[in-house]
Amino acid sequence: MEAFCEEDYHTISIDEIAEYTITLRNKGDEDTATISYKRPPGWYGDISERKVTLKKYETKNIIVEVFPSGSCKCGVYETHVKIESQGGEIDLTLKTEVFFLGDVSIKIFNYTVENGNVDFYVLLDNTGDKKDVEVIFRVDDTEKERQKLSIEGLKEAVFSWSLESGEHKISFECVSDDENQKNNKLTKTINFGEYGESKSQPEMYMESATTLMNEGKYFEAYYYYCSLDDEEGKDRCEKYIIADRYEQDGERLLKNGKYTEACSFLSEALNYYKNLGDSKKVSEIEEVLKSFSDKLHPGTSLPETVIKENTTMVTSLVAGLALLLLVNIILILELSKKKRAKDTEEKYKRIKRKYGL
């Protein structure tokens, strides 16, 4: 028995499936081969057949599919395939390169007012490979300040302005060499009144956290709850992060025709949203589950029983996320505000790098 894969290296985006064709050829007497494989941690996949019997001189193709989870980072990953038969053991290595289009974006900006001075806090996120960016601050389309920053992941930039009473159009634009920039500009019209309503940094952070939660930007909201040392907010946000990860991976599985697996992940998301009392998300997930119920394997029901089919896979994925969040977020009440903001940013970046969020 011999085995080979002519195209053993594929390049895919984060939402695609890598498909490999392994050819088995039997040159001797009738033989039975058992095929197994080991995927990269956290990945999903399938083999068309795990056991085949070939007569003398017979050839058969086996299809191996692998695709990454939503938390996967860019890089080259290996899938190891083992073919065992009476003729011996054959090991093949399939390589998959994962890429995604980077982006530099402005997530949100807010401000504090004190004694006629305004400080704008701009939350930036860089998922591209260009670290150096420029952030331009404008008032009523007139440039007031430009900062050159080096950003990996998330960073908060601060711009100061001497308050001018009345209504003003405030805008920030982030510019880099990355071609894929979709959310790199954010504009708000703000009425500061005659003197500007006083607003503290904690008030500003709470406003930002609430806005981000309503927009479904849970991990960014978590950044602000950490800055506020808000345990209740962190706990609720953490549950949304986990639910959202189940939902995203479920939708990716559904997109790739993995209906039973998608049902499992979406059912877990549904349970989290029910516990959070989010009736809107519950309704959305239920509609999605109903939309492909006819494509599930016989005997699979909605939504309880399907959850058990991939218990090990989904538990390890989410338990890892929750554990990392709990281990890395350490309270820093004794630190100054300036150091607290810096440390929070570093912790956020470490978590985001680990999970590729």
Q: Tell me the per-residue pLDDT of 237-249, one tens digit each, with 9 for 90 and over.
A: 989 988 998 898 8
The helix/strand/coil state of 24 is: strand
What is the mean predicted confidence (pLDDT) over 105-114? 87
Find, among 219, 251, 179, 246, the residue nearest to 324 by Cα. Answer: 219
Which residues have CB under 8 Å from 281's CB, separation 6+? 243, 247, 269, 273
Contact 243, 274 (CB under 8 A): no
Find, among 85, 92, 78, 87, the residue nearest to 23 by Cα. Answer: 92
The beta strand positions in 100-152, using DSSP E, are 104-114, 117-126, 132-139, 142-150
What are the tens digits of pLDDT across the range 71-100? 777 789 999 999 999 889 999 999 999 876
What are the tens digits of pLDDT across the range 181-214? 566 888 999 887 655 566 788 888 899 999 999 9
- Residues 223-232: contacts with CB under 8 Å, at least 24 apart: 223/123, 223/154, 223/344, 223/345, 223/348, 226/329, 226/344, 226/347, 226/348, 227/340, 227/341, 227/344, 228/202, 229/331, 229/332, 229/333, 230/206
Question: Which pTM value belongs to this model?
Answer: 0.61
What domains lie within the chain, and their CATH numbers? 2-99 (2.60.40.10), 101-199 (2.60.40.10), 200-357 (no CATH)
Q: Looking at residue 264, what is its pLDDT? A: 87
What is the mean predicted confidence (pLDDT) over 336-351? 47
Q: Reply yes or no on whether the pLDDT at 317 is more than 70.
A: no
